[in-house]
Every structure is written in C-alpha cells, then in structure tokens.
Amino acid sequence: MRPQKDEEALVDVLDVLLRDGAILRADVIVSVAEIPLVGIKLTAAIAGMETMNEYGLFEEWDIERRRSAVTRRQHRRERNRNTADHDRVAGGGSQISDQARTEDGSE
C-alpha cells in the first residue's frame, strides 16, 4: 500500500482548528542528576480570532482594538469638522468683509 497525500485532510484540520480551536499545554522540568533546575509551564491556544474572542482569550486585545478604532474615528470626524469650519471661514470671510463694507457704505 502506497502512502497518499490527502489535500482535503489538511483543509479539514485547519477548518476544525479555526472554528473550534485547540489548547496545548506542556510542563517541562529540566533536571540534572535528578535535581530540578528549570521549570517551564507552556500554554498555547490555536483558533480563529472569533473563537478566541468567544472564549475571552483576547478580551483585553479586543477591547483595546475597539477603543483605538473609536478614538481614530473621533479624531477623523474632528479633523473633518475642523477642515470644513476652516474652509467655511476662509471662503465666507471675504463675503462677510464685502457685506460689512457695503453696509458701512464704504464702497
């Protein structure tokens, strides 16, 4: 029997990982002469961002991203408002001064 490479199997594994996710945990102790020297506790979560957010794994990241998006949107609106106000003042400034001159009877 010859080994076969099944492309669909890889796609299915990736689909399950992104949709459902997986948690990998490892505890490693490095010892010399039965004396523990270093301990490592590792935890890795692999999933799509939607799944991560559902389980609260990236809650702080999600909150910060949303906060920065709102701040950027507010700055953009303020900048657009300031630009519009500046354009209105710059464009209307000559009209106002022309009106003031004609009302004064200067011209």
In a 3-state reduction of DSSP, which class is residue 20?
coil
Residue 69, H or E segment: helix 59-104
Bigger pLDDT: 107 vs 73: 73
Specify the pTM: 0.44
pLDDT above 90: residue 6: no
Instruction: Report d(CA 16, CA 8) in Å as an integer.
Output: 12
| Selection from 39, 36, 58 nearest residue 49 by Cα | 58
Instruction: Report d(CA 62, CA 56) in Å as an integer.
Output: 9
Q: What is the pLDDT of residues 36-94, one digit of tens each?
A: 999 999 999 889 888 888 888 888 888 888 899 999 999 998 888 888 777 777 765 54
Q: What is the arithmetic mean of pLDDT over 17-31?
A: 91
Q: How confident is the model at residue 29 (pLDDT cuts 50, 70, 90)?
A: very high
pLDDT for the residue numbered 30: 94
